[in-house]
Amino acid sequence: MAGIHSVSIVGTGNVAHHLGKAFRDVGISISDVYGRNNASTNELAHLLYCSVAPTLNELTGDLILLCVSDNAVIDVASSISVNRRLAYTSGSVPLSSLPIRTFCGVFYPLQTFSKHREIDITTVPFLIEGNSEQHESELMQLASKISQHVLSANSNDRLNYHISAVFVNNFVNHLFSQGKAHVEEHGLDWEVLKPLIFETIGKISDLDPLEAQTGPAVRKDEQTIERHLNELEGKSKEIYTLITQSIQQSAKK
Ligand SMILES: NC(=O)c1ccc[n+]([C@@H]2O[C@H](COP(=O)([O-])OP(=O)(O)OC[C@H]3O[C@@H](n4cnc5c(N)ncnc54)[C@H](OP(=O)(O)O)[C@@H]3O)[C@@H](O)[C@H]2O)c1
């Protein structure tokens, strides 16, 4: 049977929810879901109008999509019959690290997903890889049903996109947390920072990040940097120092 007409989902976390809903909304049949946690598996099955598979080998979809933590991908894949068509959603697990199987691939959405935050899936880049031309092409066709931005990417390119994603999303978000904690420790209002955050993000649609950089580090306002460091301690001081040095080195190039 050519093409992927139905999908089974393994895992019940952020990505399982968003991809499941995206498939449901465009009319791709979700056959069933499988998860370790009964409550979250039942909740996802209810959301996707599908059944719960009692074991991995009772999943019935044309494609089994593993939306499990990176470090579980190989174990879970190894428990599924080698003739079933499989794909996983991790950015950093190389396809070559999985045991040999007939159809194996990657269905990586380069976006940040949180279960309870809506996202426009049509704008999400999907990085696709397959262990055969046929499987890759079928995964690309499936991704094209939910997104307008589908590209083929090998494991090395995907790893490098993922590293970049960690910098621009996870690290930036961690810095938001640091900034929030700092003002709140001083009894100040986090909301006052929000226009600056939105403008910081908005600027990169028009400017290269190197051109967009402002602040004491790039201006080499050493007295200001010293005043800030005097107020900081521990990890926050280390992060401030390291990023200040990195900004100054990048500006020199
Ligand atoms: N969130 C994102 O923004 C994002 C974006 C792109 C790609 N990804 C990738 O998508 C995958 C899932 O991410 P996520 O954010 O959805 O993670 P998550 O919300 O933490 O969900 C992970 C799921 O994997 C299940 N799981 C973990 N170990 C398992 C095992 N040994 N056997 C069976 N199930 C297991 C968990 O089950 P329990 O609930 O029982 O622990 C949970 O349902 C990861 O590879 C991640 O790198 C994530």
Clarify whether residues 111 and 25 are in a common domain.
yes
Clarify whether residues 178 and 118 are in a common domain.
no
Q: Distance from the CA of 10 to the center of ligand 1, in angstroms? A: 9
Ligand 1: list residues with CB < 6 Å.
11-16, 35-37, 40, 67-70, 72, 75-76, 89-91, 108-109, 111-113
Distance from first CA to last CA of the chain, Å, rounded?
55
Q: Distance from the CA of 100 to the center of ligand 1, in angstroms? A: 22
Q: Whose CA is nearest to atom 15 of ligand 1?
A: 14
Clarify whether residues 194 and 109 are in a common domain.
no
33 with 8: CB under 8 angstroms?
A: yes
pTM confidence score? 0.94
How many domains does the chain fold into?
Answer: 2
Q: Distance from the CA of 101 to the center of ligand 1, in angstroms? A: 22
Clarify whether residues 15 and 95 are in a common domain.
yes
Q: Is 1 domain-assigned?
A: no
Cα separation, 206 vs 202, in Å, equals: 8
Cα separation, 225 vs 241, in Å, equals: 9
Of 153, 173, 205, which marks where a domain is finished?
153
Q: Is 200 domain-assigned?
A: yes
33 with 41: CB under 8 angstroms?
A: yes
Cα separation, 236 vs 225, in Å, equals: 13
Cα separation, 151 vs 31, in Å, equals: 26
CATH of the domain at 223: 1.10.1040.20
182 with 236: CB under 8 angstroms?
A: yes
33 with 132: CB under 8 angstroms?
A: no
User: pLDDT tens digits for 94-153?
Assistant: 999 999 999 999 999 999 999 999 999 999 999 999 999 999 999 999 999 999 999 999
* CA triple 127-131-135, angle to 5 deg: 75
**Of 40, 64, 67, 69, which is best to mutate to test ligand 1, by the most ligand atoms within 8 angstroms of its C-beta?**
69
User: pLDDT tens digits for 206-238?
Assistant: 999 999 999 999 999 999 999 999 999 999 999
Q: Distance from the CA of 220 to the center of ligand 1, in angstroms? A: 43
Host domain of residue 164: 159-252
